[in-house]
Amino acid sequence: MQGGMERTTGEKMVLNFGPQHPATHGTLRIVLELDGETVLKATPHAGYLHTGFEKLGEHLDYNQFIVVTDRMNYLSPLSNNFGYVLAVEQLLGIEVPERCQYIRVLMAELSRLADHLLWLGTAALDLGAFSVFLYSFREREKLYSIFEKTTGARLTTSYTRVGGVFRDLYDGFDNDARDFITNFPKALKETHTLLTRNRIWMDRTKGVGAISSDDAINYGLTGPCLRATGVAHDIRKAEPYSSYEKFDFDVPVGTNGDAYDRYLVRMEEMIQSCGIIRQALDNLPDGPFSLEDNKVMMPHKSDAYGHIEGLIHHFKIVMDGHGVQPPKGEDYCATESPNGELGFYIVSDGSGTGYRIRIRPPSFFHFQALPHMLEGGMVSDTVAVLGSLNVIAGELDR
Amino acid sequence: MNEEKEVSEEEQPLVLQKLQDKFADALLASAEIRQGVAVVVNKENIYALLEYLKTDLAYSFLVDVTAVDNSKLESELIQYDYARFMVVYHLYTYEGETSRIRVKVPVHEKDLKIPSVTQLWKGANWLERETYDMFGIEFEGHPNLSRILTPDDFEGHPLRKDYPLRGRGERESFNFEKQNV
């Protein structure tokens, strides 16, 4: 971060960065006040992708809202599905079978890999490392075919249901997933050789966009961005949910809280995720993949078509005012999504629709802290810092 | 926040005891929740309580600030003197057992002002702006209390219960420049 305020000459230039700039990955906008190439002031603007998810939550029933959660962090829709149904299940006071918990962990970790891979590819692309982009998308594609086979969709997965997941893993999932985690560390090594000791990459990211751990907590940063500052906080460890306490994994931390450390933390997290996936595959319990309580879960199709009981249950769950109805109350449930703490605060009035569904998106806080990391730096660092934060407009604006 | 959820004095977490000692008259309700405690405090003491939580009890991480429009939730309205809004703060501490705390403040519609906590947490800035945008709660002392998710010239507060899902504030009602065909 050479060149500080002392070089100010009085001539200011205002640069509108986004919302259509390719490095903003969507609809982010930053207004930069520049003196030469030095950023004097940065003002991020949110809201270009505001779609009223929270308002929709008050009009859709609990299972319908899962579809909306797909569109929040569109790099890892499975994590959003997971976090949301966990919150509803906690309101209902139910716990899903162990196999289901493992399936959800598997999916959450695979989507963490997919999210970090896309982040890696685009962050590197922003700084001119085109081959990294191709390498990471090659790997990501393999993950997306696993998602497609499991859930039927690449992006709009809507895999989870309140009380379970909508179908079991396919035959051959074990093979595909094992195949991936065996080959993936090798592929990641290629990226390491391309970037980690690369002079240009280090110059562009080391010491750029640094934030101290106190400031990071004060700004509400979570996930890899917080861990890069040296705070070893991971909700999977601190408040284990969905059997995470049974898994053995490390929480990688950085020291400087700069773009380079965020890169290293995410790279190591991917390796840790592979370990979690391997453990989950090894220990995947048998048994039902969903709650077998027809007051919560939809009965199997053959039941709905073949038995009057099943038909009644199907009808009851689908009809407004008969399906999933948590008791009056409220709950806040946080999960460790790839970007950080993804929280759902749900207030229930006892009906089939949430009274208030508040989503606490990690990107909102990261984008807010952007001026702190940019001001005093160079204009070209804006791209590096923004890339390192992985701000997703879908969950930022909701 | 129901009566039966309240716990006897001996078993309750230390944090709750401390809060009750210090803010005895200000606390309207308290309860134990999963991984923590929840308290309802009156508006006059909210800043002092949050400051106390942050500086003395190490709740250094402001997880979330939001609000709930209780106008269709009869039980809450009756319990809190027909206050329409409930501003909700979620805090987290990296130390200690009671990791999470939820602080709620009833706010009447005729007086929507509530002190801003941007002095305590920089992260509160946008959260309060969003709460203002969505509910119209006015945070006093906020450096830039403007709309954040909706456009600046937007009318109304979309997450209020009397704001329709469709109809007002839709795309058609904005003044777009007409394109020459």
Which of B99, B149, B165 lies nearest to residue A50, judging by beta carbons?
A: B149
Which residues 158-217 of chain A have a CB within 8 Å of chain B?
Answer: 215, 217
Nearest-angstrom CA–CA distance, A122 and A97: 38
User: For residue A288, is the peptide bond before it cis, meaning its omega torsion is within 30 degrees of 0?
Assistant: no
Interchain CB distance below 8 Å, B123 and A332? no
Cα–Cα dist B165/B181, whole Å: 32
Question: From the CA of A271, how many Å to the nearest CA of chain B?
Answer: 25
DSSP type of residue A290 = B
Annotated domain spans of chain A: 5-45, 53-397
- Whose tokens are 């403007």? That residue is B146
Tens-digit pLDDT profile for residues A299-321: 888 888 988 988 988 888 888 77
Contact state of B68 with A356 under an 8 Å Cβ cutoff: yes
The owner of tokens 């991984």 is B35
Q: Does A41 contact B at CB distance below 8 Å?
A: no
Cα B18 to Cα A54: distance, rounded to the nearest angstrom: 35
Compute φ and ψ for B35, nearest 5 degrees: 60, 20
Q: How many CA atoms lie within 13 A of B136 on its CB side?
A: 18
CA of A397: which chain B residue's CA is closest? Answer: B149
Angle CA(A122)–CA(A128)–CA(A134) in degrees, nearest 5? 50
Inform me whether the C-beta atom of residue B171 falls under 8 Å from chain A C-beta atoms.
Answer: no
H or E element in which residue B132 lies: helix B124-135
DSSP-assigned letter for residue B60: -
pLDDT score of B131 more than 90:
yes
* Among candidates B100, B150, B159 on the partner chain, residue whose Cβ is nearest the Cβ of A54: B159
Q: What is the pLDDT of residue B115?
A: 92
Interface contact flag, B66 A397, Cβ < 8 Å: no
Residue predicted with more confidence, B169 or B92: B92
Q: Which positions in chain B touch A334 (Cβ < 8 Å)?
A: 63
CB count, 10 Å around CB of B109? 13
In whole angstroms, give the CA distance from residue A269 to residue A276. Answer: 10
Between A218, A347, A364, which is nearest B122 by CB?
A: A218
Q: Find out whether B1 and B31 touch, Cβ atoms under 8 Å.
A: yes
The residue assigned the tokens 């027809």 is: A294
Tokens of B179: 């394109």
Contact (CB, 8 A) for B2 and B33:
no
Distances (CA, A) of A279 to A244, A247, A267, A297: 11, 7, 19, 28
Q: Residue A238's CB: how many other CB atoms inside 10 A?
A: 15
Out of A332, A347, A365, name the one closest to residue B123 (CB): A365
Q: Which of residues 93-122 of B touch A (CB under 8 A)?
A: 94, 99-100, 102, 121-122
Residues facing A332 on adjacent strands: A345
- pLDDT at residue A2 in the model: 47
8 Å CB contact between B132 and B138: yes
Chain A residues with CB under 8 Å of B35 CB are 239
Q: What is the pLDDT of residue A365?
A: 92
Compute how many other C-beta atoms are within 10 angstroms of the C-beta atom of residue B178: 6
Instruction: Provide the phi-psi class of A152: left if phi over 0, else alpha when psi is between -120 and 50, else beta.
Output: left
| First-to-last C-alpha distance (Å) of chain A | 34
How far away is chain B from the Cα of A226, in angstroms, using its nearest Cα? 12
Residue recorded with tokens 């929280």: A343
* B149–A46 C-beta distance less than 8 A: yes
Query: Residue B171 above 60 pLDDT?
Result: no
CB contact B165 to A (< 8 Å) = yes
- Tell the CATH topology of A53-397: Cytochrome-c3 Hydrogenase; chain B (1.10.645)
Output the pLDDT for position B1: 42
- The one-character DSSP state at A246 is G
Nearest Cα residue to A261 out of A200, A202, A181, A332: A202
Please name the helix (run of DSSP H) or strand (run of DSSP E) that holds residue A138, with its range, or none: helix A130-151
B63 vs A55, A343, A397: nearest CB: A343
> Which pair of tokens denotes residue A226?
């917080």
What are the chain A neighbours of B73 within 8 Å (beta carbons)?
A: 347, 349, 355
B8 exposed, middle or buried (CB, 10 Å; 0-12, 13-18, 19+)? exposed
Which one, of B25, B48, B28, lies nearest residue B39 by Cα?
B28
Of A144, A163, A171, A149, nearest to A77 (Cα)?
A144
Smallest CA–CA separation between B168 and chain A, in Å?
A: 13
Contacts A231 to B, Cβ<8 Å: 94
Do the Cβ atoms of A345 and B121 come within 8 Å? no
Mean pLDDT computed over B150-162: 87
In Å, how far from its chain's centre is CA A282?
25
Among A52, A218, A349, whose Cβ lies nearest the Cβ of B158?
A52
Cα dist from B86 to A225, A325, A326, B71, B112, whole Å: 31, 23, 21, 10, 11
pLDDT at B71 over 80: yes
| CA B32 to chain CA centroid, nearest Å | 18
Which residue in the set A219, A345, A355 is minimally distant from B88, CB to CB?
A345
pLDDT greater than 70 at residue B169 = no
Helix A77-92, helix A98-126: angle, nearest 10: 140
Q: Which of B69, B150, B165 sits opposite A47 (nearest CB)?
A: B150
pLDDT value of residue B175: 60
Question: Contacts of residue B69 in chain A, CB cutoff 8 Å?
Answer: 356
pLDDT of residue A228: 92
Smallest CA–CA distance from A364 into chain B, residue: B126
First to last CA, chain B: 59
pLDDT for B177 equals 62
Give pLDDT, residue B121. Answer: 92
Nearest C-alpha of chain B: how many angstroms from A61?
15
Closest B-chain CA to A346: B68
What's the average model confidence in pLDDT over B76-86?
A: 86
Subunit contact A220:B159, Cβ cutoff 8 A:
no
Of A59, A233, A358, the CB nearest to B94: A233
Kindly report which listed range (A22-26, A382-386, B124-128, B161-165) carries the lowest average pLDDT score: A22-26
Does A345 contact B33 at a Cβ distance shorter than 8 Å? Answer: no
Q: Does A74 touch chain B (CB under 8 A)?
A: no
Helix (H) or strand (E) holding B114: strand B113-115
Write down the residue that tokens 């001001």 correspond to. A375
- Which residues does chain A have within 8 Å of residue B58's beta carbon, measured at their own beta carbons? none
Q: Give the pLDDT confidence score for residue A324 in this predicted structure.
A: 85
Domains plus CATH for chain B?
3-167 (3.30.460.80)
Q: What is the pLDDT of residues B5-16, one digit of tens each?
A: 454 555 677 888
Identify the segments of chain A with pLDDT beneath 70. 1-10, 22-24
Cα A19 to chain centroid distance, Å, stands at 22
The Cα A241–Cα A260 span in angstroms is 30
Question: What's the confidence (pLDDT) of residue A3?
Answer: 46
pLDDT band at B174 (very low <50, low <70, confident <90, very high): low
pTM above 0.90, yes or no: no
